[in-house]
Structure 1
Amino acid sequence: MITTPRRRQAASVLLALGVMVPAGACSVANSGPEPSSGAASTVRIVLPEEPPTLEPCDASLTATGRVTRSNITEALTERDPGSGQLQPALATEWKQDSPTEWTFTLRKGVKFHDGTAFDAKAAAFSIDRTVGSKIDCNVDGYVFGGIELTATAVDDSTLRVKTAKPDPILPLRLSFVEIVPATTSTTSKVREAVGTGPYRIAKWDTGRSLRLERFAGYWGKAPDFAAAEYVWRAEGSIRAAMIQSDEADVAVGLAPEDGAGEAAVQFPNNETSYLRIDATKPPLDDIRVRQAISYAIDKEGLVASVFAGLGKPAGQVVPAGVTGHSSAIQPWPYDMAQAKKLIAEAKADGVPTDATITIIGRNGIYPKAAEAMEVVQNSLMEAGLSVKIQMLDVNAWLEYLLAPFPKNAGPTLLQAQHGNQAGDAAFTMGQIYGSKGAQSSYGTEELDGLITEAEQASGEERQAAFAKALEHQNKDVVRDAVLAHMTGILALSKKVTYKPNAATNDEMRLAEMHPAG
């Protein structure tokens, strides 16, 4: 039984605004309805992009989750990004009654932003809406990947969850289910979330700004800032300049050359950049071409030049420290001669290597995203492939990330980034590499079997089984060209203290931001 005290409100460490060694037009100054004399009125945050939605069941999407999770909505459990331990949130404790059944004791006295009470019926409803409905929740594919379960309210403060098959990490999976009122639509997604978190949505001025205000009825400790104002600017240099000119307090997604100066803070953000290969279409359906893509990309050079040394070349999307990471997998070596040889062999066997491959890029997915894809394009063309680039904003890019994918797109390489903040390869393998995964463009029966076997295991067997699946993918499937484990940079004004962590890119908790001094 888990009874660890909740540590959501742990004090942040004061950051010295010196050089840290490892990562427009609209002013949003602190001059709104909050009195300027207040020591903690509004924290101002500038993002690379506007959230595509604040739908709670899509909170596993980076642009949505970093605003929604732990701010507007909460889950039953939460994972501490530092220790990796699972902690109470809206559930105070839980126990496993059998291999397929769990009981959760829920926190009492909690209210939703609309004034209704949180109880076991709302928890069961939220789980069913996220996992059992047909509204294509990203969390469903990302976290649950076809797992069948039933959630039942035993009484107001007791929830029972049954799974069709044993699932040793069910409480961890439920940390991604944001709890919403039972009146929330089950036939369509909502744009704005109603939750139990310390902040509620005050105003979303589409295309301009998003304002959250402190929820007076919050069950826990009130956060220091009465409000948070989000704006978005595509250019990193503009985001950094807003810190310098006192138009923002926190700027995320920066590059070293953006000019944040002494306000810059680098941190390991747990993200891995990669190219998802559509292995269902020629010439990408030939494994030699997929191997050639990985050989042709100079990952060391990419990290050193485009990423300015922030990060390191990677061979797998599951980073060290995550259950299932394989130390046997190394980054593919840069070998242009081998890449050209493989392309020539495929061409000689009738593979249409001259077919145009489209790189589907995403503006702002990480600093210098377009430049990175230009480097990749040049390398692949040198290897003997025909490649063009199409850079998209987040909403258009999501059409390619999530199944069903656009028809008649031709062979594609998707610029993507994956962060496994949950700490277990189950949150990577099924959705990204499974044949029916929400983000998978290709899978095999053998790899599906290895993933299923690993998901049922626990302890050391689970680690070994997932590592085996990753090694098989790397050797016999080659669905991705993995680029680098990334390092993040954000900037802080002298008015705010905040300590970023491995989860910051996906879950930026306003309660961990404090006025300086």
Structure 2
Amino acid sequence: MTGSGLSRSRPIVASLAVLLAASGCSVAGADPIGGGPDTLRIVLPEEPPTLEPCDASLTATGRVTRANITEALTERDPSSGRLEPALATKWARESATSWTFTLRRGVTFHDGSPFTAAAAAFSVKRATDSGIDCNVDGYIFADSELTATPVDDTTLRVTTAKPDPILPLRLCFVEIVPTSTDPDSRVREPVGTGPYRIDEWNQGRYLRLKRFPGYWGKAPDFAAATYVWRAEGSVRAAMVTNSEADVAIGLAPEDGAGDRAVEFATNEVSYLRMDATKPPLDDIRVRQAVNYAIDREGLVTAVFAGRPTGQLVAKGVTGHNPRLRPWPYDPERARELVAEARADGVRTDTTLTIIGRNGIYPKAAEAMEVVQDGLIKAGLKVRIKMLDVNAWLEYLLRPFPAGDTGPTLLQAQHGNQAGDAAFTMAQIYGSEGAQSSYGTDALDTLIEQAELASGAKRQKAFADAFAHQNDKVVRDAVMANMTGLLALSPKVRYRPDPSTNDEMRLADMRRAD
């Protein structure tokens, strides 16, 4: 595979002006964000836990960092699926385990240092082979071994321990930083090459980005961007309708955005990750019962927007299996399965804890209450523990919390914006995956075989792996392919795409006047 030519206009990260949470109070009156007509005002459901580039595969971080503050060597067009140039202008596979990337000339980091192959090699190593435990390492590279070597200032060679037919796609998740970046610990405010640089982050209040005058590409329309966050969707919507913000994301239809609302398809899939290592979830009948007990049609009709689905990747992603249907709602069958397990000595009276995340999608807590009700009717004991993003991340990523937390069901959402099931299967279903609570040798083998395949064989291999997971493992209760809703002020023209929730490219936001 090769790529050449100029990248499409790069998105801009907006500066976050974060307000202290003010639940229940009116948002009418003076503009709480400020910044003037040349500032793009954005209100988010939550403050980013970090802007660390190697954690940009996390939604709350990536929607601010990726393609705004930092950039990668390649980028995937979220609508067409094509891999396009970014900081690399072209690439070629030299052998089964070696790729060469030609880098863009004349690119400067926000600190004034030049972008070179040495910086690219440093960034690859920092993200994939350091003690930082970057999320991108587990999510994108899993146990892959690769070495990045500068050939000269504008040529980078990347070699892998085993053949990797989608290496250029994987590298679109490695955000490039200068060699002055701390190689051994996370950074709070990164330096990148993107169209915006960090101006000020007043933690708990706001985050402000300013246009980078030395940007190599087309300058974005807005000189600055300010992010603030409000937990309540109705408050976020009202800030746009009252001209206090220009963009509000993560809305529900009932939040009241009116004619300012814009609906769009996303690549996000909501699911519950079951801890299949602890009773009663270590019995596949109980995991099947959890699936039968969830009224997916009811959830998407009354609680959040989307359509029921039976797998973690959306249509259009390599490996999507069109034969897998959503689990049917069958409360009677759920009760039967729980009763069968109980009769065989399974401890079905052990309390399950749903670990929820506030703001993961609209009506997150209400959705878990619907799930709880269904599981209780199936004969299980269930409690809900809603957490903010930082506490929730402790349960999402290895190493999981120490001590006996009991059997858990983690409220989660997965967006495969890269377009290949390799970015889903190993990290979420592999036995050692960064987000995996349980795996099997048989599924690990299917995943490994699929990762080495190309073309039609790759599609079939991953589709078969998804079918095996659904039939033989049942580690998750997949719920819905989510629909996104945001609100725009009259001064902004913006067409959201399936990756908007994960990387909100502010360079794609234009002045309406």
Same amino acid, percent of matched pairs: 71
Which residue does 1:79 correspond to in 2?
A: 76
CA shift, 1:30, in A, is: 6.9
CA shift, 1:25, in A, is: 7.5
For the 8 Å contact 1:75–1:176, the answer to whether it is kept is: yes
Q: TM-score, normalised to structure 2's length?
A: 0.95
CA shift, 1:187, in A, is: 1.5
Moved over 2 A (4+): 8-11, 24-32
Q: 1:31 to 1:432 in 2, by over 3 A?
A: closer
Q: Does 1:301 align with 2:298?
A: yes
Q: Which amino acid aligns with 1:109?
A: G
For the 8 Å contact 1:251–1:492, the answer to whether it is kept is: yes
Matches within 5 A, 1:188-267: 188-267=185-264
Q: 1:416 to 1:194 in 2, by over 3 A?
A: same
For the 8 Å contact 2:491–2:511, the answer to whether it is kept is: yes
Equivalents in 2 of 1:415, 1:432: separation in Å? 13
Equivalents in 1 of 2:429, 2:190: separation in Å? 30
For the 8 Å contact 1:2–1:94, the answer to whether it is kept is: yes
Q: Which amino acid aligns with 2:116?
A: D
For the 8 Å contact 1:28–1:229, the answer to whether it is kept is: no
For the 8 Å contact 2:51–2:188, the answer to whether it is kept is: yes
For the 8 Å contact 1:358–1:388, the answer to whether it is kept is: yes
Which residue does 2:9 correspond to in 1?
A: 8
Q: Does 1:400 align with 2:401?
A: no
Deviations 1:90-138 (A, max 9, x none): 0000000001000000011111111111100000000000000011100
Which residue does 2:485 correspond to in 1?
A: 489
Which residue does 1:131 correspond to in 2?
A: 128
* SS of aligned partner of 1:446: helix
For the 8 Å contact 1:29–1:246, the answer to whether it is kept is: no
Matches within 5 A, 1:347-496: 347-407=342-402, 408-496=404-492
Q: Does 1:515 align with 2:497?
A: no
Deviations 1:358-398 (A, max 9, x none): 00000000000000000000000000000000000000000
Q: Which amino acid aligns with 2:156?
A: L
Which residue does 2:16 correspond to in 1?
A: none
Q: Does 1:322 align with 2:317?
A: yes
Q: Which amino acid aligns with 1:196?
A: T
Which residue does 1:16 correspond to in 2?
A: none
Equivalents in 1 of 2:259, 2:317: separation in Å? 32
Which residue does 2:144 correspond to in 1?
A: 147
For the 8 Å contact 1:57–1:130, the answer to whether it is kept is: yes
Which residue does 2:22 correspond to in 1?
A: none
Equivalents in 1 of 2:5, 2:114: separation in Å? 24
Q: Does 1:118 align with 2:115?
A: yes
Gaps in structure 2 of 5+ consecutive residues: 13-24
Equivalents in 2 of 1:255, 1:413: separation in Å? 24
CA shift, 1:302, in A, is: 1.1
Which residue does 1:20 correspond to in 2?
A: none
Which residue does 2:15 correspond to in 1?
A: none
Q: Which amino acid aligns with 1:128?
A: K
Q: 1:52 to 1:479 in 2, by over 3 A?
A: same
Deviations 1:321-355 (A, max 9, x none): 10000111110111111111110010011100000
* SS of aligned partner of 1:332: coil
Deviations 1:61-100 (A, max 9, x none): 0000000000000000000011110000000000000010
For the 8 Å contact 2:33–2:226, the answer to whether it is kept is: no
* SS of aligned partner of 1:344: helix
Deviations 1:465-491 (A, max 9, x none): 000000000000000000000000000
Equivalents in 2 of 1:241, 1:306: separation in Å? 20
Equivalents in 2 of 1:60, 1:186: separation in Å? 18
Q: 1:455 to 1:347 in 2, by over 3 A?
A: same
Equivalents in 2 of 1:257, 1:457: separation in Å? 45
Q: 1:362 to 1:30 in 2, by over 3 A?
A: closer
For the 8 Å contact 1:60–1:139, the answer to whether it is kept is: yes
Count residues in correspondence.
497
Q: 1:191 to 1:51 in 2, by over 3 A?
A: same
CA RMSD of aligned residues (A): 1.3
